């Protein structure tokens, strides 16, 4: 209440109502405001604030003038703590930010804190709980322009992808993009966030032409993007598209840009993501020793920062490199660790781990290999991943053909081709 704040500040400065009002306002006018029977005009607020030596905004809202800036800095520091794996420190800071943001009615800052909490849970391999945090952030932004919801919706989309519902992730991002375009709010940072998320989701869904369209839009937006975090995320997701298109040099260039931005921000887990992506690119080029170096850095970073989500990806990719270099026991150990961490998750990454383990066991344990390939197929069917499904059916067909079961092999090949028809 303005009246309560006015009385508290006046008495703390040992001023009477008459002294506070003079020379423009009467003591009776001050009394009615302090009693809550009248709201002061803007001019009166400015007069009282000047007499009391406080900011007008602080008098009107009770909010210290530096509060919003200070809380935003605390959110940023908490994100760095989360990125370094200092989960308790991050959570403690974020709870305090949320408490202060609620008290002083700063919904955007409260939402930003909830988004960091969601990101931390996401990396801990707890996508259901992370989804709750991103949904809370979106609810806080309900009365704001749709551009303000970009980070929350992108977080929700990542969680649905991790839970195996890539199509719904695409729907969420496309719906927000439509809403932003209908309002005519061409905020480059919000649009970059949505399109970067769409590149990632489109690629997972096998929608390569749409991914290319979002990547082209990111290129148009790039000169207007100033936030290093958005620049880095943009380059990370575009690098995935370049790799899918065989544009290796462009992918490596995007990853260099992303790493520079993340280092500038001091975000350790995100820098680990660059190592992982670079290892993926190098392994596809056949530069396996270089790939291993990058992937081992990624593995060490994710272990140090308790980033379980990306740790499983690093384990899977490093296992692939080990398999290609003939170290099958090491590959198997890495993949079994990844599968144990993923548990009963429906994430596509679990299907990838089972398929890779099927490859590893194909010569030494064909029965176990078939079991893992069929598990991968089940995961990819549930998560609607037609390309990975087709690859897995082909691997199963090859395994069955080697075992002499040509009828079953033909059936597997045919089913894999049918899966690809969904993309036509």
DSSP string, 20-53: HHTTTS-HHHHHHHHTTS-PPPHHHHHHHHHHHT
Whether 39 maps to a domain, the answer reads yes
Domain final position from 61, 88, 105 = 61
End-to-end CA distance of the chain, in Å? 62
Domain final position from 41, 61, 81 = 61
* Amino acid 149: pLDDT: 96
Comparing CA positions, the residue from 413, 48, 83, 74 lying closest to residue 265 is 83
Domain final position from 15, 46, 61 = 61
Whether 376 maps to a domain, the answer reads yes
Whether 19 maps to a domain, the answer reads yes
| pLDDT, tens digit (0-9, with 9 covering 90-100), for 149-166 | 999 999 999 999 988 888
Whether 150 maps to a domain, the answer reads no
Domain limits at 20? 2-61
Whether 417 maps to a domain, the answer reads yes
Query: Residues near 12 by Cβ (< 8 Å), separated by ≥ 6?
Result: none
User: Into how many domains does the chain fold?
Assistant: 2
Alpha-carbon separation of residue 252 from 100, 229, 303 (angstroms)? 42, 18, 24
Q: Which residue has the tokens 């850095």?
A: 297
Comparing CA positions, the residue from 365, 360, 420, 424 lying closest to residue 393 is 420
Whether 52 maps to a domain, the answer reads yes
* Amino acid 321: pLDDT: 97
- 384: phi > 0 → left, psi -120 to 50 → alpha, else beta; which? left
| pLDDT, tens digit (0-9, with 9 covering 90-100), for 206-221 | 788 999 999 999 989 9
The mean pLDDT value of the chain amounts to: 91
The phi and psi torsions of 43 (rounded to 5 degrees) equal -60, -40
Q: How many whole angstroms separate alpha carbon 117 and alpha carbon 415? A: 42
Does 421 have pLDDT greater than 90?
no
Average pLDDT over residues 359-366: 93
Does 101 have pLDDT greater than 70?
yes
Average pLDDT over residues 164-191: 93
* Contact present, 264 and 228 (Cβ < 8 Å): yes
* Contact present, 270 and 262 (Cβ < 8 Å): yes
Query: Residues near 398 by Cβ (< 8 Å), separated by ≥ 6?
Result: 362, 409
- How is the chain split among helix, strand and coil, in percent rounded to 5? 80, 0, 20
Does 344 have pLDDT greater than 80?
no
Whether 411 maps to a domain, the answer reads yes
Tokens at residue 234, please?
């943009």
Does 308 have pLDDT greater than 80?
yes
What single-letter DSSP state applies at residue 32? Answer: H
CATH of the domain at 387: 1.25.40.10
Comparing CA positions, the residue from 135, 123, 125 lying closest to residue 86 is 123
Whether 259 maps to a domain, the answer reads no
Tally: H helices and E strands in the chain: 23, 0
């Amino acid at each position: 209440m303005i009246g309560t704040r006015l009385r508290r500040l006046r008495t703390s400065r040992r001023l009477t109502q008459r002294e506070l009002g003079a020379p423009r306002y009467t003591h009776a006018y001050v009394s009615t405001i302090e009693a809550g029977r009248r709201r002061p005009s803007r001019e009166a607020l400015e007069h009282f604030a000047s007499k009391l030596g406080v900011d007008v905004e602080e008098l009107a809202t009770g909010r210290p003038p530096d509060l919003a800036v200070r809380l935003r800095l605390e959110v940023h520091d908490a994100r760095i703590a989360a990125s370094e794996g200092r989960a308790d420190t991050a959570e403690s800071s974020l709870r305090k930010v949320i408490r202060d943001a609620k008290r002083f009615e700063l919904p955007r800052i409260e939402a930003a804190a909830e988004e960091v909490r969601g990101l931390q849970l996401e990396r801990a391999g707890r996508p259901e709980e992370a989804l709750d945090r991103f949904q809370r952030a979106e609810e806080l932004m309900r009365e704001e322009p749709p551009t303000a919801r970009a980070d929350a919706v992108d977080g929700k989309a990542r969680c649905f992808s991790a839970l195996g519902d890539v199509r719904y992730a695409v729907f969420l991002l496309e719906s927000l993009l439509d809403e932003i375009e209908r309002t005519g709010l061409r905020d480059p940072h919000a649009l970059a966030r949505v399109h970067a998320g769409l590149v990632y989701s489109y690629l997972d869904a096998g929608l390569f032409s749409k991914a290319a369209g979002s990547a082209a839009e990111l290129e148009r937006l790039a000169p207007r993007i100033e936030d290093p975090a958005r620049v880095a995320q943009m380059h990370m997701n575009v690098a995935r598209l370049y790799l899918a298109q065989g544009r290796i040099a462009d992918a490596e260039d995007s990853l260099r840009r992303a790493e520079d931005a993340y280092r500038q921000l001091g975000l350790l887990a995100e820098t680990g993501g660059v190592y992982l992506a670079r290892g993926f690119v190098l392994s596809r080029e056949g530069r396996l020793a270089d790939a291993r170096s990058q992937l081992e850095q990624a593995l060490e970073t994710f272990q140090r920062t308790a980033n379980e989500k990306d740790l499983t990806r690093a384990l899977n990719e490093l296992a692939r490199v080990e398999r290609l270099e003939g170290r099958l026991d090491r590959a198997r150990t890495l993949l079994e660790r990844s599968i144990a961490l993923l548990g009963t998750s429906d994430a596509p990454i679990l299907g990838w781990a089972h398929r890779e383990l099927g490859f590893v066991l194909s010569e030494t344990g064909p029965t176990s290999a078939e079991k893992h390939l069929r598990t991968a197929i089940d995961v990819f069917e549930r998560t609607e991943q037609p390309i990975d499904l087709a690859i897995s059916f082909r691997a199963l067909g090859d395994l069955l053909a080697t075992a002499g079961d040509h009828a079953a092999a033909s059936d597997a090949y045919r089913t894999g081709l049918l899966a690809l028809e969904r993309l036509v």
